Amino acid sequence: MSYMNGFEIHPHSTTPASAVQLLSGYATSIVSDVMGGRLVGSSDLRPVHRSVLSACGQAVTVKVRGGDNLMIHKALATLTTGDVLVIDGEGDVSRALVGEIMSSVARKRGTVAFVVDGAVRDADSFETHRFPCWARGVNLRGPYKDGPGSINVPVVVGGMRVNPGDIMLCDGDGVVAIPPSMAAEVAAKAREKTDVEAATLKSIEAGTYSAPWVDETIKAKGGL
């Protein structure tokens, strides 16, 4: 670890590939539900790409001052295959933190996605290269490059805490961070809920769907 004058750099975390694989392919909505629902997952971070893309990988985190990307450039050199670069830009969208050049560097290093609580630019390039990116906004203005910033520290993106090495699951609904220690438990619950929802959809198509729980719940709460 190094720390000086507001610049803090910690080593790259290593999350077992098996833990990432356990969660790959599940819907973020399902995972959010089985982890507790209403307060789990990001808010206000939307896909910049337009195709149906998803991503799952280990978090490399960066915390920067709003509108400044100096330490993001530093973090690019640490990225490895399977990483998701998670950037806490304080929710500032006045200047873009990343664009095509930086995403191309990351993509070449095997990074699977960007998650940015801030703005990006060169928005069309994410679609062109089919490189998944979730961000708070888009802005053509370029960033400052002054610092300070921190790499591989706990961050908050879209109201969600992310620790270095957390498993980032991202799709059209948003982004969820799962601690590696919870991967097996969450995956098992997600599989069960996915199967239940598939059966429900099948019953809808067959015309046999019913929802007795609705009236039961209303009655239990004093209605009907």
Q: Does the pLDDT value for residue 191 go beyond 90? A: yes
Number of domains present in the structure of the chain? 2
In tens, the pLDDT along 7-39 reads 999 999 999 999 999 999 999 999 999 998 665
For the segment 206-221, the average pLDDT, to the nearest whole number, is 90
94 and 156 co-located in one domain = yes
Average pLDDT over the chain reads 94
29 and 78 co-located in one domain = yes
141 and 208 co-located in one domain = no
130 and 47 co-located in one domain = yes
User: How much of the chain, in percent, has pLDDT values that exceed 70?
Assistant: 96
200 and 147 co-located in one domain = no
User: Residue 114 has what pLDDT?
Assistant: 98
In tens, the pLDDT along 87-125 reads 999 999 999 999 999 999 999 999 999 999 999 999 999
Give the Cα separation of 24 and 54 in Å (integer): 9
144 and 165 co-located in one domain = yes
Strand partners, 171: 174
194 and 83 co-located in one domain = no
| Joined tokens for residue 74 | 């530093």
170 and 214 co-located in one domain = no
133 and 167 co-located in one domain = yes
CATH number at residue 129: 3.50.30.40
HSE (CB half, 13 Å, CA atoms) of 57?
Answer: 21
Give the Cα separation of 135 and 174 in Å (integer): 10
Q: Tell me which residue range forms the domain holding 193.
A: 189-220
pTM for the model stands at: 0.93
118 and 202 co-located in one domain = no
Q: Dihedrals φ, ψ of 14, to 5°?
A: -120, 115
28 and 124 co-located in one domain = yes
Alpha helices in 67-159 (DSSP H): 70-76, 100-108, 123-128
User: Residue 203 has what pLDDT?
Assistant: 96
* 202 Cβ contact list (under 8 Å, min separation 6): none
76 and 131 co-located in one domain = yes
In tens, the pLDDT along 149-175 reads 999 999 999 999 999 999 999 999 999
| Joined tokens for residue 68 | 């400044």
